[in-house]
């Protein structure tokens, strides 16, 4: 299987070192270069084709989002930043994932596996079929909870609530706090089984008991529906 050619656009030397180390540990990734600003990266991209960009947002000379808008045919993009407030803009620009610093290796793997598997970025082949099938049929995830990896079944999740830099995962058996964003969590969930209905809430579709234009009842709990998310409820 051919490797995915990637570059890192990042002005923090420590962040570059961490990302380069992570890339070196993934067999299907090949690092072709690192760039401290988007202008240097633009010059490189004029002459070289790459499959994946690791892109910081706060860059000198040209900010990451502005740089992304200049690309007419961008490769897959994974945003790497310490600022969660740009996640919505990033996803509007069709970035593949949004990693919040400090980035752990497990979360990094989740992001790059998205690039490896979808036909949007990689031509389908018998080599990717088995991995894709395994990903689709997995019915659980492991989350960092109080320095432990806790297994959580998708079928037991009722809803997820944002609490600043943490999320609260409410299940039929327990509640958990994990240090990550709702955008990161949403990327790990089966899209047909979970819906974001508010900037701060993701719900399990199977746990919906009733809904109005403003609230959803899940397992006896009333969850508000954000203005920009009402269509997602009607689409159910």
Per-residue pLDDT of the chain (236 residues; tens, 9 = 90+): 578 999 999 999 999 999 999 999 999 999 999 999 999 999 999 899 999 999 998 888 888 888 888 887 888 999 888 876 554 554 556 788 888 888 999 889 988 988 875 433 333 333 333 333 334 457 888 888 888 888 999 999 999 998 877 899 999 999 999 888 888 888 888 888 898 888 889 999 999 998 888 889 998 889 898 877 777 666 66
* pTM of the entire predicted model: 0.50
Give the pLDDT of residue 159: 94
Give the pLDDT of residue 126: 36
Give the pLDDT of residue 20: 96
In the DSSP assignment, the letter for residue 172 is: S
CA distances in angstroms from 211 to 194, 196, 197, 218, listed in the order given: 15, 14, 11, 9
**138-234, superfamily in CATH?**
LytTr DNA-binding domain (2.40.50.1020)
Give the pLDDT of residue 73: 81
Measure the CA–CA gap between 122 and 178, rounded to whole angstroms: 32
Domain segments of the chain: what residues? 4-136, 138-234
User: Structure tokens of 15?
Assistant: 């962040």
Give the pLDDT of residue 41: 92
Give the pLDDT of residue 6: 97
Looking at the domain that runs over 4-136, which CATH code has it been given? 3.40.50.2300
Measure the CA–CA gap between 112 and 11, rounded to whole angstroms: 21
Give the pLDDT of residue 129: 39
- Strands 208-211 and 148-153 turn out to be unpaired
């Amino acid at each position: 299987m051919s490797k995915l050619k990637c570059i890192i656009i990042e002005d923090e030397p420590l962040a570059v070192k961490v990302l380069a180390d992570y890339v070196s540990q993934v067999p299907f990734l090949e690092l072709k270069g690192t760039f401290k600003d988007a202008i240097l990266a633009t010059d490189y991209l004029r002459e070289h084709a790459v499959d994946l960009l690791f892109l910081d947002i706060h860059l000198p000379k040209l900010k990451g989002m502005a740089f992304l808008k200049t690309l007419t045919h961008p490769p897959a993009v994974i945003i790497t930043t310490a600022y969660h407030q740009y996640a919505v803009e990033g996803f509007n620009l069709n970035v593949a994932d949004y990693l919040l610093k400090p980035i752990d290796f497990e979360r990094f793997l989740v992001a790059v596996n998205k690039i490896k598997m979808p036909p949007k970025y990689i031509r389908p082949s018998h080599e990717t079929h088995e991995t894709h099938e395994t990903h689709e049929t997995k019915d659980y995830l492991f989350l960092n909870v109080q320095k432990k990896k806790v297994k959580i079944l998708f079928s037991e999740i009722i809803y997820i609530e944002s609490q600043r830099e943490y999320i609260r995962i409410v299940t039929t058996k327990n509640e958990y706090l994990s240090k990550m964003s709702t955008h990161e969590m949403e990327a790990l969930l089966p899209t047909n089984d979970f819906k974001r209905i508010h900037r701060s809430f993701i719900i399990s579709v199977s746990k919906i008991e009733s809904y109005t234009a403003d609230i959803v009842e899940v397992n006896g709990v009333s969850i508000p529906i954000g203005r920009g998310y009402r269509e997602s409820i009607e689409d159910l």
